[in-house]
Amino acid sequence: MKNPFQLAFNAVLLVAVAVLYVLHFRQPQPAAPATIAAAIGATAPADTAAAAAPAVADAPVTPPVVPAAEAAANADKIAYIESSKLLDGYQGMKDARRAFEVKAKGWERQNQGLIAGFRSAVEAYQKQAPGLTPEQRAATEQKLQAQQQQSGEQQQKIQAQAQQEEAKLSQTVLGAVNKKVEAYGKAHGYKLILIASPSGSIAYGRKDLDLTAPVLDYLNQTYKK
């Protein structure tokens, strides 16, 4: 029969693997494509920026200067932008992802410390167990159980913190993108700008109605670290 604390140690390692997957192995993404499209197309909550404590910031939204004739010519036009290309090319999103990766490395170090601490305690117990009395073994096992529970709780907190920070950074960037797309559309006189996402919200669109490249240029020109 296996040592019960070897089983407990294996259980903690399973939790650790899940946490490390979130913090390290997964490529940080702000949201699924459909969620990104919805977020760009909707107005961000007013308190999003204040709650986010962002690592990146944008300059105030400055609408582009557009000749009146061009704006008038676009008055009845409906255009679209491709969300994945826009966000992948936007420097603000790149900076947000890098900021998240820096924090994720710190969380990974915390997680590794929890794993190493519990592993050392289990190994020490296994070496000492043959020379311990039943009462001493019971007391040590009780302490290990408590340490296992505390380690699991800390790992859950780390994972929750990672998810919250990722969501905050995403909402901050998406809020800025939403406002700038709105400013671009108004300045150029477009009747409507749609979001094309990999989920297939737009099945077809003429290339001359694709504003992804000019909007991306506008976003990056007005972005400020």
pLDDT one-digit tens code per residue, 9-22: 444 444 443 433 33
Question: What's the mean pLDDT in 176-185?
Answer: 91
Least confident of 72-81, 162-171, 179-188: 72-81
The pairs formed by 74-77 with CB atoms below 8 angstroms and a separation of 24 or more are: 74/188, 74/189, 74/190, 74/191, 75/189, 75/191, 76/191, 77/189, 77/190, 77/191, 77/209
How is the chain split into domains, by residue range? 4-224
pLDDT at 205: 83
Confidence check: pLDDT of 90 > 90: yes
Q: How confident is the model at residue 211 (pLDDT cuts 50, 70, 90)?
A: very high
Question: What's the mean pLDDT in 112-130?
Answer: 90
Q: Which residues on neighbouring strands pair with residue 194, listed in sequence order?
A: 80
Query: CA distances (Å), 142 to each of 25, 44, 82, in order?
Result: 34, 49, 57
Confidence check: pLDDT of 49 > 60: no
Confidence check: pLDDT of 59 > 80: no
Confidence check: pLDDT of 57 > 90: no
Phi and psi at 58, nearest 5°, equal -115, 150
| DSSP alpha helix (H) spans, the chain | 4-20, 33-41, 48-52, 68-73, 83-89, 91-128, 134-188, 212-221
pLDDT at 71: 64
The answer to whether residues 15 and 131 touch, using CB atoms and an 8 Å cutoff, is no
Question: What's the mean pLDDT in 207-223?
Answer: 91
Instruction: Classify each residue of 113-149 as buried b or exposed e, where b means 16 or more C-beta atoms within 10 Å of its C-beta.
Output: ebbeebeebbeebeeeeeeeeeeeeeebbeebeebbe
pTM over 0.75: no
